[in-house]
Structure 1
Amino acid sequence: MKYALNVFHIESMGTLDGPGIRTVIFLKGCPLRCHYCHNPESWQDQTENWMDHDVLFSLIMKMKPYFKNGGGVTFSGGEPLVQSESLIPLCKRLKAEGIHIALDTSGCMLSPTIKALLEIVDLVILDVKHTEPKAYADLTGGNLAQTLEFLEYIQAIQKPHWIRQVIVPNYNDQERQVLALDSITKSPYRDKIELLAFQSSGMGKWKANSPFMDVVSLNQKTLVKLQDSIKKNV
């Protein structure tokens, strides 16, 4: 049976989406509608770009010599869980070659197929959009409970994971909010929390349809202060 993935973008030498140097494959399709998404065009698959597993496998294998210091491949999105059924056979092939696999996800869904995929990958990078249910729903159109269920599952199977959150000025940039994120995600299998600064430069695609259109980028000083508050909260 031939498998393919609907691909939005491929970054060949990524250094931000997992450890080491990585090939980052951004997949199409996402059930969430985050108001600060830099790639809203990845939500739908109207302009399809199906790539056969053999093509993707060959591309990743060409990059294998650069996968040093824990590098490998990261599947991101969109939301990669949407294509979990097609991801499984490709990930199995990559694991057979000793390639480290990270999954960058919002954790907004969980199914037997997704659980099978989680058994294969080495690292989950989980983006917890907000820690308050109403704010989460307003921001994403989704349900925080689903992300927390996903988080509980990866903790139960002892899957190494990172926690991420985009910090938006005057929205979720209070220390109490960051400490709440630290508290609800604390686990022996959580390797780290990464706070990401909201960047206004990515809002140009929204054409005034986002409540964050006029929000300025988060300054680095605030980000460092919030990250330090987590380090102190031991």
Structure 2
Amino acid sequence: MGQYKNIVILTGAGISAESGVATFRDNDGLWEKHRIEDVATPEAFARDPDLVQRFYSLRRRQLNEVEPNAAHKALAKLQRELDGKVTIITQNVDDLHERGGGTNIIHMHGELRKVRCKACSSVHDWREDCAQETECPSCGRAPSLRPHIVWFGEMPFFMDRIAEYLAECDLFISIGTSGNVYPAAGFVAEVRAKGNAHTIEVNLEPSEGASMFAEHRHGKAGELLPALVEELLN
């Protein structure tokens, strides 16, 4: 495998699912027994903010019960040891990349362990429960805090920066994604349009956008990524 100098890696729910993190889209259309429309849209928060706050407080607690897996650690090793740049763009809102040793991580869908104030726009690290009566540490207002999460119908974070990284990369790897959630599902097309970057999909099974990738590796990320990283480093 060639010596790449600028690698961009997109990670999705599949990489965290191997650590036991519940995914957005299960076969029954529910997310931890809740409809997505009830807990992951701006309209849901406006309609029943207490329910939404409780839901994300529970998910925040659940992060204490999971650990980074071999895939997270392999990507961190690639970042440490590659003679080049490795950027991780994640659709996941957990902190398993960071806890696995990863750096230079872009959370395009937000972070579970952060809250944002609707009144003053401040963002705060947050590991406790959050409720409507919780005051903003910056401006003291309540209710004003919301999960620092990109809900359905909202624009993902850092899209301008992501476009720059995609334009510059010489290798794009997609890991554990369904290939049907945009704009992330369109990243491989952006890379291909440039014409001189290699593309690899690592997934349990072919995604909806599998035909867009030049190379495919199917199986568990925790089993496939350590070997792929060694190939890239050697």
Higher helix share: 1
Where relative contact order (Cα < 8 A, 6+ residues apart) is larger, the structure is 2
- Please report the TM-score for the alignment, with normalisation by the length of structure 1: 0.29
Q: TM-score, normalised by structure 2?
A: 0.29
